[in-house]
């Protein structure tokens, strides 16, 4: 308690100015109190997901804002290409887990901070692990990972007998993302505001290039790079291994060959930075953008944890390509959201005698509504649980692969049948309900 009193008087004077007196941006119902600062310093637990460009900034910002009980989870190790923007790492750290190095660095530099690292995929942690946190903040570069953690926080919600949400089960999710000089930050209150899945169509589709174009009539610098990536690298096999987008030697080789091909077709604009983006299928990160978005996310975490200020409602866009531009709008919940609505998802089937199971699997992958990676389907037929198809477990895939070429009628599925669909994009299965446009009688 003595340490706390000393900290509140000197080190945290800037926080006391916000938390111990009302201000123009305070919530109308906010009651200033020194106990709020004590909660932030001694009790509040925050989980940071990702220890990359955004994650390093988030960890630094939150630690210096007074959050002492921080956890950070990341499954990657440090690579040379990370050092230009992930400032918690040094050359000697290459090959070590990002989460562990970042935690060690901040613990040593920020007095009183206790960062706990977790070197593993987010899917390896249970519901009990995520339930311990007051706020979760994401610095991810993966849409599937965002969808998974979004599904997790929604699955933790509890409702009473009347369907009223238990507020104590709500864990706010703050999400940040950057692409070059553009970025966004959003605040998700599970069960209250729009979730990741509600706005899934906001994420741009993965860019692909037709092989015939890149091989015969390249017109863009990206075409030249993609050709070297998919055709020339496997043919020449320069290093005897698969192409590694984080290996500087590999990228240099691709850059040189792409420049040669671009010169052949009189194409300009092949740069090393562009090579990085095309090979890794990402837009290379910019340190300044990461810093801005992380600062916004850290501020939102502070608003939520302290309840002193009105949080972002609920989506902010940042762009500094030509000047600086920001825009805030409220993303609306979808009444039939696949994750937060708890409503079975309707899939209309034109002709169940012709639609194969593989067509249904493809629909779940390609549909903008679902965008699944490797859906596994189970259902109940004549009172018996039946696995229709599952690719993630080798033995089950071998047993169910033959079902892919069978029609939905051959599999015994009927109009209104409910299927449980599991996928890597969500921790819990969703329910899909089949709606046949042609009934069995009509088809006979």
Neighbouring C-beta atoms of residue 204, cutoff 10 Å: 8
**Per-residue tokens: 373:** 């990676």
* Active site positions, annotated: 212
Residue whose C-alpha is closest to residue 369's, from 391, 343, 347: 347
Question: 3-class secondary structure for the chain?
Answer: CHHHHHHHHHHCHHHHHHHCCCCCCECCCCCCCHHHHHHHHHCCEEEEECCCHHHHHHHHHHHHHCCCEEEEEECCECCHHHCCCCCCCCHHHCCCEHHHHHHHHHHHHCCCCEEEEEECCHHHCCHHHHHCCCEEEEECCCHHHHHHHHHHHHHCCCECCCCCECHHHCCCEEEEEEECCEEEEEEECCCCCCCCHHHHHHCCCCCCCCHHHHHHCCCCHHHHHHHHHHHHHHHHCCCCCCCCCCCHHHHHHHHHHHHHHHHHCCCCCCCHHHHHHHHCCCCCCCHHHHHHHHHHHHHHHHHHHHCCECCCCCEEEEECCCCCEEEEECCCCCCCCCCCCCCCEEEEECCCCCCEHHHHHHHHHHCCCCCCCCCEEEEEECCEEEEEECCCCHHHHHHHHHHHHCECCCCCCCCCCEEEEEECCEEEEEEEEEEECCCHHHHC
């Amino acid at each position: 308690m003595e340490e706390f009193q000393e900290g509140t008087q000197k080190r945290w004077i800037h926080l006391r100015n916000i938390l111990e007196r009302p201000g123009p941006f305070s919530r109308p119902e906010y009651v200033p109190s020194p106990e709020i600062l004590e909660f932030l310093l001694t009790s509040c637990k925050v989980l940071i997901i990702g220890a990359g460009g955004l994650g390093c900034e988030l960890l630094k910002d939150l630690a210096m804002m007074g959050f002492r009980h921080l956890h950070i989870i990341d499954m990657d190790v440090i690579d040379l290409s990370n050092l230009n923007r992930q400032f918690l790492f040094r050359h000697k750290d290459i090959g070590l887990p990002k989460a562990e190095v970042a935690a060690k660095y901040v613990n040593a530099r920020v007095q009183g901070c206790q960062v706990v690292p977790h070197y593993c995929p987010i899917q390896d942690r249970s519901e009990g692990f995520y339930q311990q946190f007051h706020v979760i903040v994401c610095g991810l570069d993966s849409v599937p990972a965002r969808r998974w953690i979004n599904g997790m926080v929604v699955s933790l919600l509890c409702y009473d007998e009347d369907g009223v949400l238990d507020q104590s089960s709500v864990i706010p999710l703050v999400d940040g993302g950057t692409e070059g000089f553009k970025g966004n930050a959003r605040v998700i209150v599970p069960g209250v505001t729009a979730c990741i899945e509600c706005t899934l169509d906001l994420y741009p589709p993965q860019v692909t290039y037709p092989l015939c174009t890149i091989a015969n009539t390249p017109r863009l610098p990206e075409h030249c790079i993609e050709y070297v990536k998919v055709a020339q690298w496997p043919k020449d096999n320069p290093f005897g291994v698969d192409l590694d987008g984080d290996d500087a030697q590999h990228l240099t080789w691709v850059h040189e060959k792409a420049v040669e091909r671009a010169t052949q077709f009189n194409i300009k604009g092949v740069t090393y930075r562009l090579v990085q983006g095309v090979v890794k299928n990402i837009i290379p990160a910019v340190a300044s953008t990461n810093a801005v978005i992380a600062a916004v996310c850290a501020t939102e975490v502070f608003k939520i944890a302290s309840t002193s200020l009105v949080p972002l409602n609920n989506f902010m866009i940042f762009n500094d390509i030509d000047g600086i531009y920001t825009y805030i709008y409220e993303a609306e919940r979808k009444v039939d959201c696949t994750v937060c609505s708890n409503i079975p998802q309707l899939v209309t089937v034109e002709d169940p005698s012709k639609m194969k199971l593989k067509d249904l699997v493809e629909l779940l992958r390609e549909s903008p509504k679902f965008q699944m990676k490797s859906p596994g389907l189970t259902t109940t037929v004549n009172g018996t649980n039946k696995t229709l198809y599952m690719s993630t477990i080798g033995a089950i895939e071998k047993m169910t692969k033959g079902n892919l070429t069978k029609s939905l009628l051959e599999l015994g599925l009927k109009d209104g049948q409910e299927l449980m669909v599991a996928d890597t994009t969500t921790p819990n299965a969703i329910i899909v309900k089949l709606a046949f446009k042609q009934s069995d009688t009509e088809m006979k």
